[in-house]
Amino acid sequence: FKSSRFRLEVTTGEMLDANEVERSPEDSVLEPLSNAALLDAVRRLNPQQQECVTLRFLQGLSVAETARVMGKNEGAIKTLQYRAVRTLARLLK
């Protein structure tokens, strides 16, 4: 009974938003470099892999939508995406 009188309460106005993360100065410098390296690596992919990566990750299309745009079946898109991501991982070591 006594301990219930002394509850630690924090108003919602004082709570930090869990989704908001303050960027460090290092992140501000490294992010453009990482983006430039990624774009350079994407340019080194073959044209179909470039289009697949662009549609899937930059434009946010689903596998089915990407397949329709590229005129391929979903299995072909999954394979193309897998190979493109593997190549990117190798290029970005």
Q: Following DSSP, what letter does each residue of 18-41 receive, concatenated?
A: TT--PPPHHHHHHHHHHHHHHHHH
Determine, yes or no, domain membership for 61. yes
Percentage of the chain beyond pLDDT 70 is 67
Determine, yes or no, domain membership for 6. no
Determine, yes or no, domain membership for 25. no
What is the pTM (predicted TM-score) of this model?
A: 0.64
The one-letter amino acid code at 85 reads: V
| Average pLDDT over every residue of 11-33 | 62
Give me the domain span that covers residue 89. Answer: 42-93
| pLDDT recorded at residue 1 | 52
Confidence of residue 68 (pLDDT cuts 50, 70, 90): very high
How many domains is the chain built from?
Answer: 1
The pair of structure tokens assigned to 15 is: 């709570």
Domain containing 48 — which CATH number? Answer: 1.10.10.10
Question: Is the pLDDT confidence value at 74 over 70?
Answer: yes
